[in-house]
Chain A
Amino acid sequence: MSEAAAVKDTPIEHAHQGFLKTYIFSTDHKMIAKQFLLLGLVMLMLGGGLVMLLRWQLAYPDKPLPLIGISETYMETGETETAMDRYWDEQFSKPEKEQSWIATRMPAGVISPNFYNTLFTMHATIMIFFVVMPILVGCFGNFLIPLMIGTRDMAFPVLNMLSFWVAVVSGVIILIGFFVPGGHAATGWTAYPPLSADPTWTGVDWGQNLWCFSLIFLGISSMMGSINYITTIINMRAPGMTFMRLPLTIWSLFIVAILLLLALPVLTSALAMLLFDRMAGTSFFNASGGGDPLLWQHLFWFFGHPEVYVLILPAMGIGSEILSVFSRKPIFGYHAMVYAMVSIAGLGWIVWGHHMFQSGMNPALGTTFMISTMVIAVPSAIKTFNWLGTLWGGNIQFTVPMLNALAFVSMFVIGGLSGIYMASTPVDIFIHDTYYIVAHIHYVVFGGSLFGIFAAITFWFPKMFGRMLGSKLGKIHFWITFAAFNCTFFPMHILGVGGHMRRIANPLQYEFLQQFEGLNIFITMSAFTLGMAQLIFIFNVFYSMFKGKKAEDNPWKANTVEWTAATPPPHGNFAEIPTIYHGPYEYNAPGIDEDYLPQTSQATIATDGNGKQ
């Protein structure tokens, strides 16, 4: 470690480390955060692109895609009219083995049933594991933890770097899956065996194997990240940064890290068994060989339910942060917020059965899981009421991050309320595996997590990149997204009530779903709008990164420690390790001239007669 000795006396100088060490194999938590952000945004575009194809199929089942599909003339008369017609003509004249990638998946521009299954499988896998997790946990966990607790970096910077690169390996594996013969995994993100356990049922061979390998690697990456986060938060807080002075964002990330650490190994064990079934001839999930298909569901959802909270908790923390800042008011019920998150982390382990009410699991267990599920709704309700309490009596600034945070709260309310229907076992009999579920998860994961992501990116952008994110484009993006989001996902509740099953490629095959053709087209149009609107966001991010207005150190006048660092923070973050004197949300405190009070300020808050602040 001679390098260490060299820079011992000049802690800031070492920013110049050459391209590779600065941008690629960086151990700086802020650079790793940006790498995760880039990974997430690229994957967001891929995951979003897949779902556009999927929505086309649902609105216009078995019709050729625009632009790449065959023309009507070709269909009717067999005469080639467009360039694509000639392309398809040429493809069909070849033996199947030599046809192009696109021709085997979308012959004549029509999405084949198996490719449709691949589309929703990979849409969910990518969005959950490669968008929401890398951005909320990977990017903001990395960026915020050291900055917000007032330290120079993670406890294990090299481990941190490895965590990112293992995630990249995992991402590359999942991408390779698109190009292997037999196609990519097509059994849903839940991969229920026996469908997923034996290639004969789907025709998918290596796609599903790679899917398993990819998630195992992602599990390793997450484990490294979680260990790092927990250790850093426990051991490296700045002097005075007690647990009850931690920003709620850090609390949420702390709990998420614990959930990830303990939940993902269970998934890893299940994936290993699935791989054994697929590749070594075992029969863990094969009933005729003495196995049990329900075993997978138990293991998967034992992981899966904590995972759901992994996706939403950071957004809750971020939402709380931003609501408090832009209401210029302390968060309402800080302790209640913390206890709510802690109880979610505890209860999250005993509710997995609510995904399995209709699975053939002993129905007596259904009642138990129904009760625990109802109980776990309470902490979320508490949080919602506290968010309202935070707005009450504030001085609310409608900045772009605030708009997104408010959208997060209101959409999460809808997602939470629609969950109650499923928790009630008799109602679940009907809506299980329908679009009601699809609506619910999208209100939670898009309306919750993704608006949380938008809020977080727009809020911390100045600190990350030293420039302000364009607020005009930000507002345009927000309003289009908000409207298109609701037009896309709210009607899905109606589809669900009508009994529209999820994961079907062609609703028009069913008589009772004929009435929904128009609604499906409307949803698809909204989804296209929603997808297009994200291009505005991507453009805004990359444009502002280079051309945005230079940001001050504390543009939002916020209290938390990261805003006392230089913008953007140098390697090592702080010139001096800060000392913490206050909680994170002391806005408009009595006896303070400014309407905010940085955690590092030594000023004291005037107390009232009761000795309360």
Chain B
Amino acid sequence: MAKPAEEKADNLTIEKDVGQGLPPILDDDSFGNGNRSNGGDSDRPINSAVLAMLLFIGAEVMFFAGIIGAFIVLRFGANDWPPPGQPRLPVVVTGINTAILLLSGLTMFKTKRLLKDWHREKILHGLTITALLGALFLAVQGFEWTRLLGFGFTLSSNIYGTVFYTLIGCHALHVLGAVIWLTIVASRLRMNSPAYSANNHVGIKLSGMYWYLVVALWPVLYGLVYFN
């Protein structure tokens, strides 16, 4: 990832825009992408905000690795799985819901492709649809949860309920966060916020990256938790 930077620095002609620009702290980029001030490396291999987002996603993946690891230990340590007398998890409905979330991943993918040429209206449209699909996913999940809770299947009813609500709940919280983020991005875009422009749309890109995370996590969790 950093390899090209290294080569670049090696071949650098020394006098090139050294010390120009202003301290990154005072740069007007809200994502702290102050690298331009630091020797004219606007052409560095990766945007700082994007890199930071990748790192954050790495941390999130490790968090999920922790709870998925816990699930695996408990699931395969149990004699009966699921324990007898438990309600069946809604495999089909959730399957359809999975399709909805995957579709939102696709719409996000298409939206991000529009960023380069800055079709503002189309981007706004794409973000809105993605957020709505996410919200639909959450609504279906919530509906299924209330049904399960109606059967007396709760977080603390037994280990099956515990891992189900923890894993699926954690993911749902992340989807909720991502939907809120997308909504904020979309409404700022709608209001023509100066934060986003043809030259600077890293904020939209970041929300898209995060959206990919929550979409990509879901099939793994669905496969693990819903199929015994």
Contacts and interface: CB of A to CB of B under 8 A. Distances in A.
A234 B66 contact: no
B55 A230 contact: yes
Contacts of B51: 230-231, 234-235
Interface string A249-293: 000000000000111111111101100100011111000011110
Contacts of B55: 226-227, 230-231, 261
Interface in B22-39: 22-28, 30-35, 37-39
B37 A152 contact: yes
Nearest to B13: A239
A546 to B, nearest CB: 27
B46 A234 contact: yes
A353 to B, nearest CB: 14
B5 to A, nearest CB: 7
Size range of the interface on B? 35 or more
Contacts of B166: 273, 276, 282
A282 B25 contact: no
Nearest to A581: B14
B62 A265 contact: yes
B91 interface: no
B32 A155 contact: yes
B73 A298 contact: yes
Contact of A239 (B33, B34, B39, B63): B39
Nearest to B160: A290
Contact of A227 (B26, B35, B56, B73): B56
Nearest to A226: B55
B44 interface: yes
A290 B26 contact: no
Given A4-B26, A28-B25, A242-B6, A579 B66 contact: no
Contacts of B34: 152-153, 155, 236
B37 A241 contact: no
Interface string A143-180: 00000000111111111000000000000000000000
Given A155-B52, A281-B156, A299-B70, A265 B60 contact: yes
A241 B56 contact: no
B22 A11 contact: yes
B142 interface: no
A188 B159 CA distance: 26
Contacts of B37: 152
B69 A572 contact: no
Contacts of A270: 66, 70
A228 to B, nearest CB: 8
A266 B63 contact: yes
A21 to B, nearest CB: 11
Contacts of A467: none
Given A3-B26, A158-B32, A299-B70, A238 B52 contact: no
A269 B70 contact: yes
Given A153-B25, A265-B60, A268-B63, A290 B78 contact: yes
Interface residues of A, number: 70
Contacts of A283: 156, 158-159, 162
B84 interface: no
Given A8-B22, A235-B48, A577-B39, A284 B66 contact: no
B73 A295 contact: yes
B18 interface: yes
A263 B65 CA distance: 11
Given A152-B25, A242-B10, A261 B58 contact: yes
B19 interface: yes
B55 to A, nearest CB: 5
A102 B150 CA distance: 49
Interface string B175-191: 00000000000000000
Nearest to B158: A290
B108 to A, nearest CB: 23
A11 B83 CA distance: 66
Contacts, number: 197
B18 A265 contact: no
Given A155-B34, A280-B155, A572-B23, A262 B62 contact: yes
Contacts of A90: none
Most buried by B among A157, A158, A264: A157
Contacts of A153: 23-25, 34
Nearest to B67: A269
Contact of B59 (A28, A239, A243, A265): A265
B92 interface: no
A261 B16 contact: no
Contacts of A235: 5, 35, 41, 44, 46, 48, 51
A14 interface: yes
Given A157-B24, A226-B55, A234-B46, A241 B67 contact: no
B220 interface: no
A234 B5 contact: yes
A548 B10 CA distance: 41
A123 interface: no
A280 B74 contact: no
Nearest to A576: B19
Contacts of B1: 234
B12 interface: yes
A67 interface: no
Contacts of A4: 22, 26-28
A55 interface: no
A291 B38 contact: no
A576 B18 contact: yes
Interface string B139-183: 000000000000000011011101000100000000000000000
A1 interface: yes
Interface in B113-162: 155-156, 158-160, 162
11 contacts: A4-B26, A11-B26, A154-B24, A157-B24, A231-B52, A234-B46, A235-B41, A266-B63, A282-B159, A290-B159, A295-B74
Interface of B: 1-2, 5-6, 9-10, 12, 14, 16, 18-19, 22-28, 30-35, 37-39, 41, 44, 46, 48, 51-52, 55-56, 58-60, 62-67, 69-70, 73-74, 77-78, 83, 155-156, 158-160, 162, 166
Which 5 residue pairs spanning A and B have beta carbons closest together? A269-B66, A290-B159, A576-B19, A281-B156, A265-B63
Given A236-B34, A244-B6, A280-B156, 16 more contacts: A151-B38, A152-B37, A153-B23, A156-B31, A157-B32, A158-B32, A223-B56, A240-B10, A241-B9, A261-B55, A272-B67, A290-B159, A299-B69, A571-B25, A572-B23, A574-B19
